[in-house]
Amino acid sequence: MIAPSPNRPQRPRLTTLVATGLSAAVLLTVLTLLALVHHYALRDAERAAGQRLQQLSWQMRDTLNRAVQKAIGDIRLISALPQIQQPRSPDEARHVLESLQKAFPDYAWLALAHPDGKLYAATQGTLEGQDISTRNWFVQGRERFYASDFHAATLLGKKLPASSDPWRFVDIAGPVPAADGRSRAVLCVQMGWGWARRQVQTMLVPQGQPPGTEIFIVRQDGTVILGPQGSEETILSTDSLTLSKSGQPGAIRERWADGQRYLTAYSLSGSSASSSSSSSDPATPSWSVLVRQPEAVALAAAHALERRILLAGAALVVLVALLGAILTRRLTKPLEALSHDIGQRLAAQDSRAPLPPIAQVESFHEAQELSHMLAQLVRKEESHLDSLRTLNESLESTVQQRTREIAGKAMLLERALAQEQSTQMLLQERAAELRAILDNAYDAFIALDPGGVVLDWNLQAEKLLGWRRSEVIGQPLAAMVLPPLLRRAYERDMRQLAENGGDAVLNRRIELSLHNRDGQELTVEVALAYVPRSSGHLFIAFLHDISERKSLFASMEAMALRDTLTDLPNRRALMVALDEAIQRANRLRQNCAVFFVDLDRFKQINDRYGHEEGDELLRQFAQRLRDTVRKTDTVGRLAGDEFVVILENLQDDAAAQETADKLRPALLQPFRLKTTSVALSASIGIAVHHPDDPHDLEMLLGRADRAMYQDKQTGKPQRRR
């Protein structure tokens, strides 16, 4: 090889240029990708973390709302009990209150107060007989249901057992309505604050929240009533607290008083979770629920992704630089050999012949050396010069094309790797979230294959049916929860659902009777869904125990048909019984009769001796009516001192008159009350229904009513046909 001329400047080598260019291109690509990931990954991570924290905030808000609403529901339920409506003694009322307290230990104190402000009965007898007329819960609870704000215990705290944590309460009070709609008494439930602390621990620990996740419950004045150690009873002032008071939930990044930046989700208790409005339940206190997490913890996954991309990019730059140097070295090696060969040939030829002028190439070192050699050989090897120039251009084009292909494939590879990693992380997070939701759901969750074999089973299913998840996976559901007589029908229905679908069952709620592990029968509400998959399909079932609700509805329906004072059928039940009696009379071609009975001078006795004696008189009068008529006859109370007797299977009208004549002397016997004995008469109006008469209940009662008033005016029994 001919040494370069000392007066020609040295150019950079092609190897150096290509390696440097490839490294710069890859580095620029990595930096651009890193900038995009920094922008979008941080935004997505913030959104995902904010949604998780908002879910915690909503769950805590809903827990506070449900706790207060449950206490209000308990007040409604027990206020309808006779032991609370008309207690015979404080012991009787106290027994009911203490039974409720045993069922719900979070109720620290329950009390029943008279309208005059005197405490009538309380759990463990605490404060009984004292004047509580100035207490806020008593003043507010006389007219409506009321829930107080979080407050410290004063007088009651001295009566309750000593505790390491000072007693704090939320008061829920409501009126005990009388028959005339007025408040008979005021019922109060004081809930200890321990249930809220347990709920916070239940929400944070089982769900595997990242370190640093904290829940704050703040009053409207900014006082922290529940939070991490050392924060309670302090005043909080943050942007999230201000935003939460609007009633709209959300999440923001902000700096707290400790100087750290947090991602904070907020919501307001008392507001409706399903409504976008900011209206709230007036009986539920408005507390701000804040859930915060350090920004570094919330966005840790995005920062880790950036570091991995940066390390992978640096490694790729080094690798591409080495590959570029090796490839370029292989491309320039033939050129260097050609230059050396030409130099050898020129040295053997006559150099005195003049050479034609030729343009000098000044791009890089190899091209410069090649053009210098070709300038000396142009006379004898011009054709060779053209061939070499063509070869040189082809090599440069090939290098550029391969460089662009390598850079493009490297970019595509980086994007594919980043997308795959992001997808894997998202799938893992979604799977963890779904498992947490299923395990903490209020309904039992069961996943079945087409043959009815259990594939999945959550914690609520364990509580409802008694089997642990590890015991039921792979077992047929019908053999565990259905009686033998129903299993074949269940298997047939499952096959039909798998083959033809079932719009009448799928995605709807149906009632079903099941047996738990102990053999007890449960009434559940089932929602069944059909989920197609690439490898087949499965069924998803959600079960909700409604046994207690059905029992409560049956009890309430029975109470709705009885008069609470006399335990007789009320007007609603009487109308049903009268309609059935007329239908039977028409079908059997017999008469039936209606007595309209009204006590004479009841108002004077009630005004003279009081309502309690009046109520006792009505109870004895109702019992005497039932004892006098036949077992097959119906006795009911319309209202006040008005009673109705339905007689069936009468051969003629005289039979009804005979029953009335037997009833009058029985009602004239003295009634022994608590403080006195009274004797009074009753006015009886008789209306007889014949098989061919119109089927009109109101008309029949109206005839009996008019006959009763005529009897009251004349003092003689009257009968209306």
Whether the Cβ atoms of residue 253 and residue 243 lie closer than 8 Å to each other: no
- The residue-averaged pLDDT of 34-49 equals 75
* pLDDT the model gives residue 121: 92
Q: What share of the chain is helix, strand, coil (3-state, %, to 5)?
A: 50, 20, 30
Architecture of domain 442-548: 2-Layer Sandwich (3.30)
* pLDDT the model gives residue 167: 58
> Comparing 180 with 347, which gets the higher pLDDT?
180
**Angle at which helices 697-714 and 571-588 pack, to 10 degrees?**
100
* pLDDT the model gives residue 720: 42
pLDDT in tens, 629-667: 999 899 999 888 899 999 999 988 888 999 998 998 888
Strands 682-689 and 718-720: parallel
Percent of the chain's residues with pLDDT above 70: 79
The structure's pTM equals 0.42
Q: How many CB atoms lie within 10 A of CB 101?
A: 17
Report residue 315 as tokens. Answer: 């490694």
> Comparing 30 with 361, which gets the higher pLDDT?
30
* pLDDT the model gives residue 273: 44
3-state SS assignment for residue 83:
helix
- How does 611-647 read in b/e, with b if 16+ C-beta sit within 10 Å? eebbbbbbeebbebbeebbeeebbbbbbeebbbbbbb
| Distance between CA atoms of residues 78 and 276, nearest Å | 34
Whether the Cβ atoms of residue 154 and residue 137 lie closer than 8 Å to each other: no
Range of weakest confidence among 36-45, 149-158, 216-225, 244-253: 149-158
pLDDT in tens, 464-513: 888 888 888 888 887 777 776 666 767 676 666 666 654 545 666 777 77
* pLDDT the model gives residue 274: 41
> Comparing 441 with 472, which gets the higher pLDDT?
472
- The residue-averaged pLDDT of 390-410 equals 84
| Distance between CA atoms of residues 680 and 670, nearest Å | 7
CATH 1.25.40.20 fits 561-720, yes or no: no
What DSSP string describes 282-301?
Answer: TTS---EEEEEEEHHHHTHH
Q: How far is CA 340 from CA 3, 355, 440, in A?
A: 10, 20, 81
pLDDT band for 419, please (50, 70, 90 cuts). confident
For tokens 């949604």, what's the residue? 51
Strand partners for 544: 525
> Comparing 168 with 171, which gets the higher pLDDT?
171
What DSSP string describes 551-568?
Answer: HHHHHHHHHHTB-TTT-S
* pLDDT the model gives residue 186: 92
| Distance between CA atoms of residues 350 and 452, nearest Å | 100
Per domain, the residue ranges of the chain are: 14-41+302-432, 80-196, 442-548, 561-720
Average pLDDT, whole number, for the chain? Answer: 79
> Comparing 409 with 362, which gets the higher pLDDT?
409
* pLDDT the model gives residue 230: 79
**Angle at which helices 300-348 and 14-79 pack, to 10 degrees?**
170
Report residue 362 as tokens. Answer: 């000044």
442-548 shares the fold of 80-196: yes
| Distance between CA atoms of residues 10 and 349, nearest Å | 27
> Comparing 259 with 494, which gets the higher pLDDT?
259
* pLDDT the model gives residue 7: 59
- The residue-averaged pLDDT of 38-62 equals 81
pLDDT in tens, 338-391: 566 556 555 555 444 444 454 555 555 665 666 666 666 655 666 776 777 788
Whether the Cβ atoms of residue 263 and residue 53 lie closer than 8 Å to each other: yes
Contacts 24+ apart (CB under 8 A), 101-109: 104/74, 106/67, 106/191, 106/192, 106/194, 106/195, 107/71, 107/189, 107/190, 107/191, 107/192, 108/160, 108/167, 108/169, 108/190, 108/191, 108/192, 109/156, 109/160, 109/169, 109/188, 109/189, 109/190
Angle at 414 between CA 410 and CA 419, to 5 degrees: 150
Whether the Cβ atoms of residue 277 and residue 310 lie closer than 8 Å to each other: no
- The residue-averaged pLDDT of 585-606 equals 91
- The residue-averaged pLDDT of 388-410 equals 83
159, with CB counted inside 10 A (0-12, 13-18, 19+), is middle
Asked whether residue 248 carries a pLDDT value surpassing 80, the answer given is yes
CATH 3.30.450.20 fits 80-196, yes or no: yes
Around 209, how many Cα atoms within 13 Å sit in the side-chain half-sphere?
25
- The residue-averaged pLDDT of 61-68 equals 86
| Distance between CA atoms of residues 383 and 259, nearest Å | 79
